[in-house]
Amino acid sequence: MKMHEDNLLKLNLGCGNRAIPGFINIDIESFDNTDVALDIRKVDEKFSNKCKLIYSSHVLEHFKKNEIKDLLYSWNKCLVPGGILRLAVPDFDAVVQYYKLTKDIDSIQSFLNGGQKSSLDYHFITFNFEYLKRILNEAGFHSVKIYNYQDTEHAYIDDYSQCYLPHMDKTNGMLMSLNIEAIKC
């Protein structure tokens, strides 16, 4: 386990094949870069009150609506008071706006339904800022705000927090990711 100078940890939950140096990279599947193979619904059993930052990019939407609050409560238990939860999820408002502008239904399918490349790659819920903020507040988080991925210590990791349509057009495209940060009460 990677301990930091202040003995508080940073977790990258649902990391897939995108590890972030300096974080404990956790996924239910064991990838080459996975530090801990663990169901992220149970991270509080191992990391309770040990973390200063939890990051999870395009993972929350893979859980059913009735699992989301319990999942966020579990992640809340991992954080010390004042700890940061940083989430990225498909932004339903941006997806709708992009569709209204382009009528390109093919490009938005994976944001709504997942990539469907495996049994774990399906989406069960959609989020916009107001909805996710309400759920985070109910799970014991406050100061919910949008963050700019470019201002994070992991901005150089090209993950889904940086997904644009048209694909990879970070200059003229539209960001399809809702990137939210919240503080544990």
Residue with tokens 């940073």: 10
**Confidence at residue 168, expressed as pLDDT on a 0 to 100 scale:** 87
Provide the token pair at 115.
Answer: 């990539």
Phi, psi (deg, nearest 5) at residue 57 = -110, 115
Name the pLDDT band for 1 (thresholds 50, 70, 90).
very low
**Confidence at residue 5, expressed as pLDDT on a 0 to 100 scale:** 45
Q: Provide the 3-class DSSP secondary structure of residue 138.
A: helix
**Average confidence score pLDDT of the chain:** 95
**Confidence at residue 95, expressed as pLDDT on a 0 to 100 scale:** 98
Question: For the chain, what percentages of helix, strand and coil (3-state, to nearest 5) are there?
Answer: 30, 25, 40
**Whether the predicted pLDDT of 120 surpasses 80:** yes
Angle at 94 between CA 155 and CA 29, to 5 degrees: 50
**Whether the predicted pLDDT of 4 surpasses 70:** no
**Confidence at residue 2, expressed as pLDDT on a 0 to 100 scale:** 44
Contacts of 79 (CB under 8 A, 6+ apart): 49, 51, 52, 53, 54, 85, 184
Return d(Cα 47, Cα 77) in angstroms, integer. 8
- Give the closest residue to 75 by CA, choosing from 126, 46, 41: 41
pLDDT digits over 54-81, tens only? 999 999 999 999 999 999 999 999 999 9
**Confidence at residue 47, expressed as pLDDT on a 0 to 100 scale:** 98
Mean pLDDT of 100-106: 97
Query: Could you write out the DSSP letters of every residue in 23-48?
Result: SEEEESS--TT-SEE--GGGTHHHHT
Report the 10 Å Cβ neighbour count for 45.
12
Return d(Cα 49, Cα 37) in angstroms, integer. 20
Q: Provide the 3-class DSSP secondary structure of residue 93.
A: helix
Residue type at 81?
Answer: P
**Confidence at residue 128, expressed as pLDDT on a 0 to 100 scale:** 98
Distance between alpha carbon 78 and the CA centroid of its chain, in Å? 15
**Confidence at residue 42, expressed as pLDDT on a 0 to 100 scale:** 95
Dmax over Cα atoms in the chain, in whole Å? 50
